[in-house]
């Protein structure tokens, strides 16, 4: 692996308060050579695409209630609200896990945390046999790129983005790298780039802006052939860093909440800029855009998720097995194919996006993992349902398990802890444990809980079968 100084690697971030025009060119390091990526957005792309392009956008620690369309009243998300109105919004969508890296691993490999390679927040690489959405996209003949947060394999590992199906990669390689939105280094394929403008405590290049810039250039370059773009924004996760607290600097809020609101404002705006490029390139009808969150809102650095009602009234936050930690937005937009203004209450989770995107790309034969394709829901047709959704936690509070089946939710906070049972239809805030009243349902869900997982040598638990 090499480290290269930013000198000669021209990366111009979006200026604060700037317009929607993409930077015309960007010189970046690619496979040991410099390539000039020309973003000539005024040209109409040649129509060579029979299958849709797919853009998958994942926001870190964005709560279910952090969008205006889901009830947010204190700050504004106009572009994501418009996104929802122009497409399909799911109200019963769940993250893949209680921590961001776990959820992103589940999404990209199609497996819930009872079967996935990565089940917790410590650094572990995907193995060579772990197929990702990038791998499937390459098999289907798509150009592929991953941008933003990765965390599924460090330098020299079998989990590098460039060996897991992505032709192009730019961002935070390890989860531990993503501790500064003004990073001193970012990875470009297998080269670690040094950002001099952020050295010595300076804050001149905001990483989320760089990721949007890279995304719009990728779309421009590959507009004439099918592409798959995976864009994992670090926003609005800690650390609490924003170029300014605008447009909320004058609000009578705690300082940390102003900054968080400003970060979500910028996330909303960056997504809007990517959508604007699709419109300018006349790619909207040929591109499926999927937006979701990695986990529920965090409660670090003095943030109180209740201040903005970020969970939409659900109990808990990031790290919890309650719905506040797991339920996240899912918006899907495909003008001309997905009818605008639709809302679905279908129960689904991150691992369902794996077979969904594979189907959109025209693939029929692949390991579907634990997912069920959502393409029938996209098209307004009859949708196959899950018997249950399953999660396990290996972080805060130790090993824990959660399961949802229909309206029933079962939580076991630890191997020696009693099971909690909630009926989300009658008790969406998970405030009334009815395990003592519905014993038969409790036993049925506990059997599912025991059958849902396979032991993993990488993630030993107290409930694993004892070896002789």
Over its length of 468 residues, how does the chain's per-residue pLDDT go in tens digits? Answer: 444 443 333 333 323 333 332 332 333 333 322 232 323 322 223 333 359 999 999 999 999 999 999 999 999 999 999 999 999 999 999 999 999 999 999 999 999 999 999 999 989 999 999 999 999 999 999 999 999 999 999 999 999 999 999 999 999 999 999 999 999 999 999 999 999 999 999 999 999 999 999 999 999 999 999 999 999 999 999 999 999 999 999 999 999 999 999 999 999 999 999 999 999 999 999 999 999 999 999 999 999 999 999 999 999 999 999 999 999 999 999 999 999 999 999 999 999 999 999 999 999 888 889 999 999 999 999 999 999 999 999 987 789 999 999 999 999 999 989 999 999 999 999 999 999 999 999 999 999 999 999 999 999 999 998 876
CA 97 to CA 396: how far, in whole Å? 12
Q: Which helix (H) or strand (E) holds 172?
A: strand 168-172
Q: Count Cβ neighbours within 10 Å for each residue of 430-453 and write b for 16 or more, e otherwise.
A: beeebbeeeeebbeebbebbeebb
Q: Count Cβ neighbours within 10 Å for each residue of 388-404 and write b for 16 or more, e otherwise.
A: bbbbbbbbeeebbbbbb
Q: Indicate if the alpha-carbon torsion angle 46, 147, 118, 348 is positive or negative.
A: negative
Q: Count Cβ neighbours within 10 Å for each residue of 218-227 and write b for 16 or more, e otherwise.
A: bbbbbbeebb
Give, in degrees to the nearest 5, the angle at Cα 252 between 249 and 253: 80
Hey, is 230 helix, strand or coil? Answer: strand
Taking residue 15's Cβ as centre, other Cβ atoms within 10 Å add up to 9
Hey, is 114 helix, strand or coil? Answer: coil
| Cis, bond preceding 236 (omega within 30 deg of 0) | yes
Q: Which residues contact 354 (CB under 8 A, 6 or more apart)?
A: 107, 108, 109, 110, 133, 136, 368, 369, 371
pLDDT, position 468: 60
Q: Which residues contact 432 (CB under 8 A, 6 or more apart)?
A: 422
Query: 100 — phi, psi (to 5°)?
Result: -60, -50
| Cis, bond preceding 239 (omega within 30 deg of 0) | yes
Give, in degrees to the nearest 5, the angle at Cα 19 between 204 and 79: 100
Percent helix / strand / coil, the chain, rounded to 5: 25, 20, 55
pLDDT, position 225: 94
DSSP 15: P
Q: Which helix (H) or strand (E) holds 30?
A: strand 25-30
Encoded tokens for 137: 């996209």
Domains, the chain, ordered by start: 2-40+50-381 (3.40.720.10), 397-451 (3.30.1120.10)
Distances (CA, A) of 169 to 54, 61, 152, 164, 423: 16, 22, 13, 11, 43
Are the C-beta atoms of 124 and 366 separated by less than 8 Å? Answer: no
Which of 86, 87, 65, 68 lies closest to 77 in space, CA to CA? 68
Block residue for tokens 């330098």: 155
Hey, is 69 helix, strand or coil? Answer: helix
Distances (CA, A) of 461 to 320, 392, 464, 466: 18, 11, 6, 10
pLDDT, position 46: 30
- Phi-psi category of residue 113: left, alpha or beta, with phi > 0 → left and psi -120 to 50 → alpha: alpha
CA 97 to CA 327: how far, in whole Å? 10
């Amino acid at each position: 692996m090499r480290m290269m100084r930013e000198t000669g690697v021209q990366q111009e971030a979006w200026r604060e308060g700037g317009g929607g025009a993409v930077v015309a060119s960007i010189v970046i390091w690619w496979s040991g050579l410099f390539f000039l990526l020309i973003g000539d957005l005024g040209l109409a792309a040649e129509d060579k695409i029979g299958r849709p392009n797919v853009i998958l956008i994942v926001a870190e620690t964005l709560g279910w209630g952090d969008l205006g369309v889901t009830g947010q009243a204190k700050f504004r998300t106009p572009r994501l609200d418009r996104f929802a109105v122009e497409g399909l919004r799911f109200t019963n969508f769940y993250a893949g896990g209680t921590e961001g890296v776990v959820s992103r691993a589940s999404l990209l490999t199609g497996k819930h945390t009872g079967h996935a390679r990565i089940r917790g927040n410590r650094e572990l690489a995907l193995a060579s046999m772990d197929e990702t959405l990038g791998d499937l996209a390459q098999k289907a003949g798509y150009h592929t790129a991953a941008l933003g947060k990765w965390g599924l394999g460090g330098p020299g590992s079998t989990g590098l983005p460039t060996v897991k199906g992505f032709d192009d990669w730019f961002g935070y390689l390890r989860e531990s790298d993503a501790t500064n939105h003004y990073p001193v280094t970012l990875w470009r394929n297998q080269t670690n780039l040094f950002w001099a403008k952020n050295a010595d405590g300076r804050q001149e290049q905001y990483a989320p802006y760089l990721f949007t810039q890279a995304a719009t250039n990728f779309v421009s370059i590959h507009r004439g052939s099918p592409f798959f773009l995976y864009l994992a924004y670090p926003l609005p996760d800690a650390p609490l860093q924003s170029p300014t607290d605008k447009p909320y600097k004058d609000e009578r809020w705690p300082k940390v909440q102003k900054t968080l609101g400003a970060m979500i404002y910028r996330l909303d705006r960056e997504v809007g800029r990517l959508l604007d490029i699709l419109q300018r390139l006349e790619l909207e009808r040929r591109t499926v855009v999927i937006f979701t969150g990695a986990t529920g809102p965090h409660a670090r650095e003095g943030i109180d998720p209740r201040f903005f009602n970020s969970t939409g009234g659900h109990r808990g936050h990031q790290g919890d097995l309650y719905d506040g930690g797991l339920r996240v937005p899912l918006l899907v937009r495909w003008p001309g194919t997905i009818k605008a203004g639709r809302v679905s209450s279908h129960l689904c989770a991150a691992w369902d996006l794996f077979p969904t995107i594979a189907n959109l790309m025209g693939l029929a034969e692949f390991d579907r993992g634990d997912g069920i394709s959502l393409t029938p829901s996209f098209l307004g047709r009859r949708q196959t349902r899950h018997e249950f959704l399953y999660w396990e936690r290996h972080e805060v509070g130790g090993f824990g398990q959660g399961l949802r089946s229909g309206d029933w939710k079962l939580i076991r906070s630890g191997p020696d802890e009693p099971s909690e049972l909630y009926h989300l239809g009658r008790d969406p805030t998970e405030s009334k444990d009815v395990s003592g009243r519905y014993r038969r349902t409790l036993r049925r869900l506990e059997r599912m809980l025991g059958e849902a997982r396979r032991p993993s040598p990488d993630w030993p638990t107290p409930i694993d079968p004892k070896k002789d």
